[in-house]
Structure 1
Amino acid sequence: MPSTPTTPPIVAIVGPTASGKTALSLDLAQALDGEVVNTDAMQVYRGMDIGTAKLPPAERRGIPHHVLDTLDVRDPATVAEFQGWARAAIADIRGRGATPVLVGGSALYTRAILDRFEFPGTDPAVRARLESELAVVGSPALHARLRELDPPAAERIEVENGRRVVRALEVIEITGAPFSANLPVQEYVDPRTVQLGVSIDRETLDQRIAVRVRRMFDDGLLEEVSRLLDEGLAEGRTAALAIGYRQAIAVLAGEMSVEEAIEKTSVATRQFARRQLAWWRNDPRITWLPYDDPERVTRALEVIRAV
């Protein structure tokens, strides 16, 4: 993603789920004549709207959005593929003289897009063996093995995310190095990159998450998931892992009550937010802006224009 002094910068907004990133992205896109690039791993799926807090088209203020609603729920998606899609969108936006504003909750995806990150190779035989083992012993057992081999990687990968656990174990086996050693280094592909973080205290964040999750179920998450199951959601290797969707599937299967699903989704979302923060807290390049600062747009623009 090469640039010149006249090329618009790349702006990325990071921060935990429910902190207010979306509103800031729209404000900045408007101020910068920009376009939004989604960096949420699950918002690429058509029909996954309520459970991903996807902004409806009518609320996008006429701002173009990219890497959104591009896959069916049966389609798998990898970080490497996402990196390619997002970088292509960024190049196109900047080529037209507009400013790309990246926003989404998937920390690894954002880092893979912004930073120098070469993906390790794959070994089909190793992958097939690990996937067969996953089907027999389950994701928690493989995650426990990953925690023994590479605690930092295990900390960043959900226990239930068998696909990513398998990938981490595969990389460890074929490279002889920890999976975490293959994660992005803190070096931007393009130096004209700005990361802005939305900071929020834990108590307020937890309250916001609780409100958001209950609203999702009130707004029809179960109906959305029922429709998506007819479209193949349960067979999807990526989409079916989304927080909220797993719990809704359990409700529809009679394995969990709605109230249990709301509580489990809230807990999982809070845990996800902690993992998000673990990615960002050690990145000194991020300028943090309080979620409730009335001047946060002005302050953000000052940081961007200084690049």
Structure 2
Amino acid sequence: MNNYELITILGPTASGKTAFAAALASQLDTEIISADSRQVYRSMDIGTGKDLADYIVDGKTIPCHLIDICDPGYKYNVFEYQHDFYQAYQSLKEKGKLPILCGGTGMYIEAVLKGYKLLDVPQNPKLRESLKDKSLQELEQILASYKILHNKTDVDTAQRAIRAIEIEEYYKNEAPDANEYDPIKSLIIGIDIDRELRRNKISKRLRVRLDEGMVDEVRNIISSGVKPQDLIYYGLEYKFLTLYIIGELSYEDMISQLEIAIHQFAKRQMTWFRGMERRGCTIHWIDSTLPTKEKIEITKKLLQNT
């Protein structure tokens, strides 16, 4: 039918990409590989928006790989993701499936589609010490000075920004000169959601997740022995809810600041995807408000026209 090796479904948070990917997987009798840098963690369910019910289509659960593979507190990275992805990808290809890659972490998606050779970057204590007193804004300015591949979509804490700078410094001296994996020919579908609709959905979803027990989820993770600073590292929900739980933010300030941060995160995601297009990735954007059936038909036609 086509010579694509993969279907990629990407989009900003709250665009509805997971439900669409599951419906498409059901139609094509295939499975999903997640491309979400925080859904790899067990117990971090509500805050990362795993929305496991989205994977149930017509009473059947669509298998999804690379969710719940690490314990909270661990610092999973793109180097590990790339290797884990290829294991899942090869296993599905051996079963004769056309895998669907679905998520919003642009760096993860681009790294596997292009087969970048990545390095397992060690910590640099001297560099970390020199950066530890800088603000997040100052760190972001430093990071912006690099010609970067590495992720800015999730840099919303000083810890993550310092790690990103650490990676860039390492690559300046140790940059790989070849791909580790072959690039993958993928049909890339982007779920295009109007900015105001996206903002409304983010705000509504945040309140639903708070009602579902997101604060208790974070409390339980801390009670299990994960240090607050390790949760803050993950950013977004886990940063602001942890700050509330340890008494550094009021409940109202937590909601207000978190809502702003999620809106900013969605904007950074879109910036990354537009950058992917400039770097040679063809993304076929589909209106998020179209019925699922229509989205599936559009995708099938794109698959056939190759």
- TM-score with structure 2 length normalisation? 0.85
Question: Match of 1:44?
Answer: 40
Q: Where do 1:271-282 residues align within 5 Å?
A: 271-282=264-275
Cα gap change, 1:102/1:119 in structure 2, threshold over 3 Å: closer, same or farther?
same
Work out whether residues 217 and 262 of structure 1, in 8 Å CA contact, stay in contact via their aligned partners in 2: no
Matches of 1:136 and 1:20, distance apart in 2 = 39
Matches of 1:12 and 1:160, distance apart in 2 = 28
Cα gap change, 1:115/1:51 in structure 2, threshold over 3 Å: closer, same or farther?
same
Matches of 1:23 and 1:208, distance apart in 2 = 15
Matches of 1:288 and 1:6, distance apart in 2 = 19
For residues 188-237 of structure 1, the C-alpha deviation after alignment (integer angstroms, 9 at most, x for no partner) is 7122x111000011010000000111111111111000001123433675
Three-state SS of the structure 2 residue aligned to 1:34 is coil
Question: Match of 2:304?
Answer: 305
Match of 1:258 among 251, 261, 267: 251
Matches of 2:113 and 2:97, distance apart in 1 = 17
| 1:82 matches 2:81 | yes
Question: Match of 2:205?
Answer: 212
Matches of 1:115 and 1:71, distance apart in 2 = 25
Matches of 2:231 and 2:219, distance apart in 1 = 17
Cα gap change, 1:273/1:85 in structure 2, threshold over 3 Å: closer, same or farther?
same
Matches of 1:99 and 1:237, distance apart in 2 = 37
Q: Where do 1:1-307 residues align within 5 Å?
A: 9-56=5-52, 59-60=55-56, 61-120=60-119, 122=121, 127-137=124-134, 139-148=136-145, 156=153, 158-172=155-169, 175=172, 189-191=183-185, 193-234=186-227, 237=230, 240-282=233-275, 283=277, 284-294=281-291, 295-307=294-306
Matches of 2:163 and 2:182, distance apart in 1 = 28
How many residue pairs match? The answer is 295
Letter in 1 for 2:168: V
Pairwise CA distance, 1:136: 4.3
Matches of 1:210 and 1:138, distance apart in 2 = 27
Pairwise CA distance, 1:157: 5.8
Pairwise CA distance, 1:242: 3.0
Work out whether residues 146 and 169 of structure 1, in 8 Å CA contact, stay in contact via their aligned partners in 2: no
Cα gap change, 1:66/1:161 in structure 2, threshold over 3 Å: closer, same or farther?
farther
Work out whether residues 21 and 103 of structure 1, in 8 Å CA contact, stay in contact via their aligned partners in 2: yes
Letter in 1 for 2:237: G
Matches of 1:97 and 1:276, distance apart in 2 = 32
- TM-score with structure 1 length normalisation? 0.85
Three-state SS of the structure 2 residue aligned to 1:102 is strand
Unaligned runs of 5+ in 1: none
Bigger mean CA offset, 146-155 vs 274-283: 146-155
Cα gap change, 1:152/1:236 in structure 2, threshold over 3 Å: closer, same or farther?
same
Matches of 1:98 and 1:147, distance apart in 2 = 39
Cα gap change, 1:110/1:38 in structure 2, threshold over 3 Å: closer, same or farther?
same
Matches of 1:248 and 1:29, distance apart in 2 = 34
Letter in 1 for 2:172: T
Cα gap change, 1:268/1:7 in structure 2, threshold over 3 Å: closer, same or farther?
same
Letter in 2 for 1:214: R
Matches of 2:64 and 2:120, distance apart in 1 = 31
Matches of 1:286 and 1:133, distance apart in 2 = 40
Pairwise CA distance, 1:257: 2.2
Letter in 1 for 2:21: S
Letter in 1 for 2:23: D
Work out whether residues 73 and 236 of structure 1, in 8 Å CA contact, stay in contact via their aligned partners in 2: no
Matches of 1:264 and 1:251, distance apart in 2 = 11
What is the CA RMSD across the aligned residues, in angstroms?
3.0
Work out whether residues 76 and 236 of structure 1, in 8 Å CA contact, stay in contact via their aligned partners in 2: no
Matches of 2:212 and 2:201, distance apart in 1 = 16
Matches of 1:147 and 1:268, distance apart in 2 = 19
Three-state SS of the structure 2 residue aligned to 1:37 is strand
For residues 142-196 of structure 1, the C-alpha deviation after alignment (integer angstroms, 9 at most, x for no partner) is 333334556997965625152343333452366169xxx99x99x97122x1110
